[in-house]
Amino acid sequence: MTDTAHILVVEDEATQRTMLVDYLTRQGFRATGLSDGAALRRAVQRDEPDLVLLDLGLPGEDGHSLARYLREQHAKVAVIMVTAAGSTVDRIIGLETGADDYIPKPFEPRELLARIKNVLRRAVPATAAVIGSRVPMGRRILDLAQRVLVDPDGVEERLTASEFELLRLFAENPNKPLNREWLLEATSHREAEAFDRAIDLRITRLRRKIEADPAHPDAIRTVRGVGYVFVPPGG
Ligand code: CA
């Protein structure tokens, strides 16, 4: 990234918040600490950050609700959810509510840094070099420049960074079966098990968004033993 990325650290525990802000600042980011959801909403409306490091357990509005808010109102802002609870169920809920990644406490600062860089890299807008900016996918069109799905009647739906990244990979590789492990590696750095489920859940969610009949997917087809393949309309 050419500009310094701006990261909002939402953490109610003051010592931890200060530590994270100091660490990220030393790593060259612009980091701002916030103690609750109300402060986050005010800050995001004033100046959209590149990424929000979001504590799940907050007084008042919790991390899940705030992640949903960011996804709906500020879809270009990347979200990494931080939580003490490390169960698979919580991980999936974290991703379902729109977080781009998930890190359980306690974590190594270096691991956090790697995830932040990974999420920010994915959030960089697709360049004009990719195949043309509008790609028909199922019953809708993926607009690579605007990072939205467009209905035939022109209505746009915003995508999370991870949803967009998956669809972009498919759009760039039509008719080519994409290996699940490769999709996992290309879209995240999380450990394999949580990962696997997350990819399948994301595919299910994307099929609901683009397939004429999500129960019988035609655009993103399953390739048994391999992964998934994007078949352009009429292909
Ligand atoms: Ca907390």
List the CATH number of the domain containing 85: 3.40.50.2300
What distance in Å separates the CA atoms of residue 5 and residue 123, rounded to the nearest whole number?
11
Contact 51/79 with Cβ under 8 angstroms? Answer: yes
Domain presence at residue 235: no
Decide: pTM greater than 0.85.
Answer: no
pLDDT given for residue 7 in this prediction: 97
Number of domains in the chain: 2
Cα 7 vs. chain centroid, distance in angstroms?
15
- How many angstroms is it from 27 CA to the middle of ligand 1? 23
Is residue 12 a part of any domain in this protein? yes
Q: Number of helices (H) and strands (E), helices first, in the chain?
A: 8, 12
pLDDT at 23 over 70: yes
* 122, 154, 170 - which closes a domain: 122
Query: Does residue 31 share a domain with residue 16?
Result: yes
Question: The domain containing residue 149 runs over which residues?
Answer: 128-230
pLDDT band at 94 (very low <50, low <70, confident <90, very high): low
pLDDT tens readout for residues 52-83: 999 988 999 989 899 989 988 887 899 998 88
Q: What separation in Å is there between the alpha carbon of 107 and the centre of ligand 1?
A: 14
Distance 8 CA to ligand 1 centre (A): 15
Is there a single domain that holds both residue 15 and residue 103? yes
Q: Are residues 46 and 104 in the same domain?
A: yes
Centre of ligand 1 from the C-alpha of residue 199, in Å? 28
**C-alpha dist (Å) from residue 166 to 18, 91, 118, 210:** 34, 19, 14, 13
| 107 and 134 share one domain | no
Cβ-proximal residues to 142 (8 Å cutoff; 6+ apart), any chain: 134, 135, 136, 149, 150, 167, 168, 171, 210
Q: Which of 66, 99, 122 is the last residue of a domain?
A: 122
Measured in Å, residue 120 CA sits from the centre of ligand 1 at: 24
